[in-house]
Amino acid sequence: YVHLIQRLNLQLIAQHHAQNKHSHVFEVLTSFNASVLHLDIQFDFVIENQRGMKFFGIPLFSNKTLLPLLDPPNYQLLHMKPIVLSENSIVNYPLPDLDWKWTWDSWYILMYNDVDDQGWVYSNIVFNKTLSDSTWKGKYYTGNFVRRRIWVRMRER
């Protein structure tokens, strides 16, 4: 499985260096999953969204402050499809069917490109569709009221 992770890393690095606005992180991750489909291995990528701010350096972000109709849900898939998880926790993300099993015991945060030490990227008041958009930064600045990060977990048949 190490070679698959290395291949994903190379694709993400190539996208970063190309700085092609038409090639977004979400597209790279989706195409990577399609390229390994014949191997009966898939990586599930889930985006976590929060709204809030820092107050005297203390992060006060929460999924409970997401604005209906304006913000995406707390969790969504790469193609922006909302998902509802029991107890609103990533650990409750289900396998697609009984033919699959988790290869990794837990979820991991995709620590790619410009993210903070917990994998978050920050933006201004409204959510944008892509992580590669220039408004998303791995460092919090005054006026950043939204943040997101990508969780990843590998499964196999």
The reported pLDDT for the residue numbered 133 is 63
pTM of the model: 0.83
Pairing of strands 41-55, 146-156: antiparallel
Q: How far apart are CA 45 and CA 33, in angstroms?
A: 10
Q: Is 25 helix (H, G, I), strand (E, B) or coil?
A: helix
**Could you read off the pLDDT tens digit of each residue along the chain, which spans 157 residues?**
666 777 776 666 666 555 544 347 777 788 888 888 778 888 999 999 999 998 888 889 999 999 888 888 999 998 888 998 999 999 999 999 999 999 999 999 988 778 899 999 888 866 665 555 667 788 888 888 899 999 999 999 9
